[in-house]
Amino acid sequence: MKKNTGKKPAGITRSRKIIFNIQIALLPIIILLFLEIFLRAVGYGDNLKLFIKHPDKEYAQYKVVNPEIGKKYFQRFEYSRPAKDIFLRKKTDDVFRVFVMGSSTVVGFPYDNNIMFSRILHERLREAYPNKKIEMVNTAITAINSFTLLDFMPQILKEKPDAILFYAGHNEYYGAFGAGSNEAVAHNPAIIAMHLKLMGSRVYQLIRNIISGTGNLFARVKTAGDRRGTLMSRIVKDADITYDSPVYLKGMEYYKRNLEIMLAMASNKGVPFFIGEVVSNISDIKPFKSKGTSTLKPAIDYYQLGKKLEESGAYNEAKENYSLSRDYDCIRFRASGEVNKIINELSEKYDATLVPVLGVFEAKSPNGLVGNELMTEHVHPNIDGYFLMADAFYNALVSSGLIGEEADKDAPVFNEKYKENYGYTILDELVGKHRVTNLSYHWPFVDESQGFTDYRQVYKPVSVADSLAFNVMARNDVSLTDTHEKVARLFERNRDYWNAFREYNALTKINPYWPLHFRSAADCLLSMADLPVALKYYLRSLEFENSFYAHFRAGEIFMIKNDIDNAIVHFEEALVLADEEKPNVLAKLIVAYAYKGDKENFIRVKNELNKIKPGQKINIPVRKYTYLNYIPDRVKNFIIEADNAVKQQDMELAEVKLIQSFDVMDSHLARRKLGELYFQQGKYGQSIIHLEKAENEFGFDPRFLHMLCLNYLELGDKPGAKKCIEKLKLTDPGFPALNELQNLLKQNIN
């Protein structure tokens, strides 16, 4: 027998047991990690970041809103793609960057991207602040609510915004993750937040897709969301949500919570937040569903009383009843008045800028009652409405002083003429009309359980434009962009350059990052002799493509303006990009350098031309100022009639014709001629207003500078006169009246 020594038999030590247990615990994590790496390597799943590097090499320095971001929030239903707004990956000092947040109203429904209020706002800010690079990034997609917007917020703040614009509140119940939505993983904020966080993982996407696919095979729950038709009608799960019910209160609680978190995040980062009141159609939309309770009358009762009060002229009381009708509507596609109360409360608490969108709409509505005059249906503005939204946010941004400089006093005034010339056509109006009408054929506008009529099958177009617009709405294979292009080319073939320009101009607003549309619009303007605006569009095209054609055309226009330095800049750029066009570009440069008196570069380009075409002679034409010969077609009759009136010494008629021309367009030529007319009559104060507006276009014309200088001298404006003389010395040192002007300035100083 062995002697008992009291020692335990050898075995696994405590430390080894701990290491083994840790390894066992980590094994699933390691497996998941390797599975994640494998899934990414084979390309499974989606990049669900809000912003991605632009996929096109021509835009490699930019980021773009992820076109597939909707996959993160919509599993059962289709999702809309955001606008293709881009911004620099590396923000420069001259950039003012704005992000826009919201849903279908911010998308611009029922219109295309050119009618988004952010696109209208972007154009106005560019014109008001020409020395700033304005980036306007619209992140909106349809049928999302504050849960999605909260998920966007950290990614937006990471991109160094100078301002955030926010307009949302109508989708809190039926938008993705809403309390009454079919598109929801849960109705708990913590679970929703965890789900959205995990959606970046390919493993989680795989699990979600497996569960979803299996569920679809074995079960199909019949809900309001299973209805045929629009996303609006199919995404709804719990349609009836009565006022002050638990579901209603939960929706308001979540909206306030999510918005407060967003405002706190922006405040902590020092990012200005502009939040717009939400607007809905109260006077021309009946409640979608009326259901009384023990404490509330049916919503329709308030609506009918509102109608009677409006007819009797009791507009304030009518507004109160219309608002109650909206609030007590059981189908919550319109935000209740509580949403704007939350917006007002939180904007004050976090020192955000409240944008009075509702107030602006009410001020422009008959009797202060928002209805069909500014709305297409229940919540989406019409074209006039979207321009009003843009104006409200524009005024808020400009008043804030954030952009850092004064707005250009010569920027176009916002009025009906501005709206008409902005960049949309009858096609856009008709497409919007058909989308809204199609919407109205579906629930909740009609009870589809009693039968269904397909608008796309019964409508008969009444004109060519109507037929084209209807096809855009009814067919997935027809885009509005392609239709605008088709119509523009037809107008061009018929030499109707103005209407061709309008179609191309609409395209420049639908996609302002596509240079070809700007060049096409500029070509139409050139055909109409509208050189200043043509130049603007050629230069705009160069922001995103270094095009030979745009540089060459810009160089030609600058030569006609007598702006030799800028002409040379663009001809030199064109030369670098030229192929068989090189001889023509070199010939232009020879003339430009001859006019400038730059012998060194004159010899350089002449020798370069001789290498390509030995012995070719270049005639340098006598330098003439011909810019005045280009009269824009749209005001040509007015200008000719005004000139004839001047010849007949009928100055009053000439003045009338020139002023009338401004109703068509604010042309540089009419401004100059009106300024000259007032100068000849001794009306120097009136004259200087118009001459200064024309100076940007005629600042290289010695005769114009001469008159401008004399006008300043008559008004005793010595700095203005001195500025003109210095510019005249550079433009034409041998101008005959230069010495006389210098003597007059000395006399004024003395």
Whether the per-residue pLDDT at 448 is higher than 80: the answer is no
Q: How far is the C-alpha of 67 from the C-alpha of 569, rounded, in Å?
A: 37
Give, for 738, the enclosing helix (H) or strand (E). Answer: helix 738-749
Q: Considering the chain, what percentage of its residues have pLDDT values greater than 70?
A: 92
Choice between 176 and 307, residue whose per-residue pLDDT is larger: 307
* Confidence band for 227, pLDDT divided at 50, 70 and 90: very low
Q: What is the mean pLDDT of the chain?
A: 91
pLDDT the model gives residue 253: 96
Q: Considering the chain, what percentage of its residues have pLDDT values greater than 90?
A: 75
Going by CATH, does the domain composed of 631-749 fall within 1.25.40.10? yes
Whether the per-residue pLDDT at 342 is higher than 90: the answer is yes
pLDDT the model gives residue 512: 96
Average pLDDT over residues 342-358: 98
Average pLDDT over residues 615-627: 87
pLDDT the model gives residue 36: 63
Tokens 């619209």, residue located: 138
What's the token pair of residue 661?
Answer: 């021309």
Average pLDDT over residues 178-186: 70
pLDDT the model gives residue 600: 96
Q: Which of 2-11, 588-597, 664-673 has the lowest mean pLDDT?
A: 2-11
Whether the per-residue pLDDT at 19 is higher than 90: the answer is no
pLDDT the model gives residue 9: 53
Whether the per-residue pLDDT at 495 is higher than 70: the answer is yes
Give, for 608, the enclosing helix (H) or strand (E). Answer: helix 599-612
Whether the per-residue pLDDT at 221 is higher than 60: the answer is no
* Confidence band for 37, pLDDT divided at 50, 70 and 90: confident
Q: Rounding to the nearest 10 degrees, give the CA dihedral for residues 116, 117, 122, 127.
A: 120
| 139-156: pLDDT as tens digits | 999 999 999 999 999 999
pLDDT the model gives residue 2: 47
Average pLDDT over residues 324-350: 97
Domain assignments of the chain as residue spans, ordered by start: 51-215+232-283+335-415, 290-328, 423-473, 631-749
Instruction: Enter the CATH code of domain 51-215+232-283+335-415.
Output: 3.40.50.1110
pLDDT the model gives residue 293: 78
Contact assessment for residue 289 and residue 330, using Cβ atoms and an 8 Å cutoff: yes
Q: How far is the C-alpha of 484 from the C-alpha of 504, rounded, in Å?
A: 7
| 701-721: pLDDT as tens digits | 999 999 999 999 999 999 999
Sheet of 51-53: strand order equals: 51-53, 62-65, 86-88
Contacts of 691 (CB under 8 A, 6+ apart): 671, 672, 675, 676, 679, 704, 707, 708, 711
Closest CA to 502 of 422, 447, 389, 403: 422
Q: Which of 359-363, 388-392, 417-421, 516-520 has the lowest mean pLDDT?
A: 417-421
Q: Is the dihedral of CA 310, 316, 321, 327 positive or negative?
A: positive
The burial of 407, by beta-carbon neighbours within 10 Å (0-12 exposed, 13-18 middle, 19 or more buried), is given as middle
Q: What are residue 354's phi and psi, to 5 degrees?
A: -80, 120
Range among 20-24, 617-621, 632-636 with highest mean pLDDT value? 632-636
Average pLDDT over residues 613-620: 85
Q: Is the dihedral of CA 591, 595, 598, 599 positive or negative?
A: positive
Whether the per-residue pLDDT at 5 is higher than 80: the answer is no
Tell me: cis bond preceding 736? Omega within 30 of 0 counts: no
Sheet of 163-167: strand order equals: 133-138, 95-102, 163-167, 273-276, 353-355
Q: Which of 23-37, 160-174, 736-750 has the lowest mean pLDDT?
A: 23-37
- Long-range Cβ contact pairs of 149-152 (< 8 A, separation 24 or more): 149/101, 149/102, 149/258, 149/262, 150/258, 150/261, 150/262, 151/72, 151/193, 151/196, 152/50, 152/101
**DSSP string computed for 208-259:** HHHHHHHHHHH-----GGG-SS-HHHHSBSS----TTSHHHHHHHHHHHHHH
What's the token pair of residue 477?
Answer: 């294979």
What's the token pair of residue 698?
Answer: 């005629």
Amino acid at 599: K
* Confidence band for 552, pLDDT divided at 50, 70 and 90: very high
Q: Is the dihedral of CA 287, 292, 297, 301 positive or negative?
A: positive
Distance in angstroms between the alpha carbons of the first and the last residue of the chain: 133
Average pLDDT over residues 558-585: 97
Q: What are residue 51's phi and psi, to 5 degrees?
A: -125, 140
Q: What is the CA radius of gyration of the chain?
A: 33
Contact assessment for residue 396 and residue 353, using Cβ atoms and an 8 Å cutoff: yes
pLDDT the model gives residue 496: 98
Whether the per-residue pLDDT at 81 is higher than 80: the answer is yes
* Confidence band for 605, pLDDT divided at 50, 70 and 90: very high
